[in-house]
Amino acid sequence: MTLTIENAAKTFADGTRALCPTNLTVGPGEILSLLGPSGCGKTTLLRIIAGLERPDAGSRIRFDETDVTGLAVEHRNVGMVFQSYALFPNMSVRANVGYGLKVRKVPAEERRQRVNEVLSLCRLTDYADRPTHALSGGQRQRVALARAVAPRPRILLLDEPLSALDAALRDNLRDELAAMLRQFRITAVFVTHDQSEAMAIADRIAVMSNGTMLQVGRPEELYHTPANAFVARFIGNAMPLTGHMENDVLQLPGGQLKLPAGAAGKTAYIRSENVRLDQTGSLSGTVETVTFSGGHFRLAVGGVLPDAGLLYLQHPGRTAPETGSTVRLTIDPSDLIFLADQTSTHS
Ligand code: ATP
C-alpha cells in the first residue's frame, strides 16, 4: 500500500503547533523512519496516520487512492506496535496473536492457520502456549509485532518499539526487527529518536525538528549529503569547523586546512571517524579526554577549534595518546561536508 500524506498539520487546543504542514509518500512495502529529538512531532504524525489524532483542516491522509482522513482508527486497518506492548499478560502468546483476528470474526480454522504462520515467521512457535507475562522483553516485543501483523494490516505503525529493552538486547533485536519487517512486506512507519536504530531498520528516514520535516532520504544520503546543520549533527554528529577562511584556506587555532574551491561562505563539517592522528598532519591540539569503546578509542582534542570547542576523533589503534599530550591531526578535504551558514533549524 502507498501512504500519501498531504499538508498534514496539527495545532493542539492549547495552541501548541506540534506539526507544521507536511507532505510525504511511503511506497508499498517501504519502511520509513520518523527520526528526531523529543517533542519534534514524530508521535503526533504517527497518531494522525493511525487515526488516533485528528489533523488540522486541510490535511489529507490517503491509503492508496482512498482518502482516510475522516476515518476512525478501527476502520483504517492499521497494525500498531508501541513502546509498552500492551499485551494481555495472562493470555497465551497464541491468544494474543490471534486476538485481532477474533475481533474481526475470522473463522476459527483460518485464524489457526494465520496465527501459526505468523508465530513461525516471528520465531515464537516454541512459546505459543506460554502466558506473555512469562516471556523475556525481546520475546514480548516479537509477540507485539506478531499480534500487529496477524490481521494483515494495510500499514504497520511502530512507536519506539525497542526503547523498553536494555541496550544489548536492543542491538540484537534491531537487526531482527528489520529482517522481520522486510519479510512481511507491509508498508511501515517507525518512530525513533535513535539515529542508529533508524539507519539499521529504515529504507528511508525523515528527519524532524520542531514539527518540520527537514530532510527525507536513504540513510546514506542523509549521512553523506545532509541538507542542513541540524541533519548533519543529528545523523552521525558532524562537527562544525568554524574558523576564518582566506583564499580557500581555513585558519583554525590549531592550524590550517586547505579547502576545495567553492567553499567560501559555507561552514565545513567533519565527523569524528574522518579525523586521524598523523604526525605530519597540519593541525595540532591537546588531548583532553580518552575513552575506550571496544573497537576504537575516542579522543577529545582541545586547541584545534575556536571558542574552547573540542574536536573528537576515533582512533582504531591498540594504544592511545595520553591525556594532556600534544597530537597532530589530519583531515582529508574530501571528507568535509559544506553547508550554507546555519539557519534557525535547531530544536
Ligand atoms: P517524544 O519522542 O518525546 O515522544 P515526539 O517527537 O513524538 O516526542 P510529539 O509527542 O509528537 O513529539 O509532540 C510534539 C509536540 O506537541 C510537543 O511539544 C508536545 O508537548 C506537544 N503535544 C503533544 N500532545 C499534545 C496535546 N495533547 N496537547 C498539547 N500539546 C501536545
Q: How many CB atoms lie within 10 A of CB 106?
A: 19
CA–CA separation, 60 and 104 (whole Å): 27
Specify the pLDDT at position 334: 93
Cβ of residue 210 lying under 6 Å from some atom of ligand 1? no
Helix (H) or strand (E) holding 213: strand 212-217
> What is the distance between the alpha carbons of residues 97 and 121, in angstroms, rounded to a whole number?
12
Q: How far apart are CA 199 and CA 129, in angstroms?
A: 35
Q: What is the pTM of this model?
A: 0.92
pLDDT tens per residue, range 223-277: 999 999 999 999 999 999 998 888 889 999 999 999 988 888 899 999 999 999 9
Q: Is 35 in the pocket of ligand 1 (CB under 6 A)?
A: no
Mean pLDDT along residues 132-161: 92
CA 117, 119, 120, 126 torsion: positive or negative?
negative
Cell numbers linked to 164: 523498553
Q: Ligand 1: does its nearest atom lie under 6 Å from the Cβ of 315?
A: no
Phi, psi (5° rounding) for residue 90? -95, -5
Q: What is the pLDDT of residues 12-57, one digit of tens each?
A: 999 999 999 999 999 999 999 999 999 999 999 999 999 999 999 9
Quick one: what percent of the chain has pLDDT higher than 70? 98
Over the stretch 265-300, which tens digit does the pLDDT of each residue have? 899 999 999 999 999 999 999 999 999 988 899 999
The number of residues in the chain equals: 347
Mean pLDDT of the region 135-157:
92
Question: What per-residue confidence (pLDDT) applies to 343?
Answer: 47
**179 Cα distance to chain centroid:** 16
Q: Take residue 335 and report the three cell numbers written for it.
A: 571528507
For residues 335 and 259, the answer to whether their CB atoms sit within 8 Å is: no
Q: How many A from CA of 76 to the centre of ligand 1?
A: 23
Give the C-alpha distances (Å, rounded to integers) separating 2 from 24, 216, 243: 10, 16, 46
Indicate whether residue 36 lines ligand 1 (CB < 6 A). yes
Q: Which residue CA neighbors atom 11 of ligand 1 most closely?
A: 41
Rounded Cα gap, residues 323 and 289, in angstroms? 6
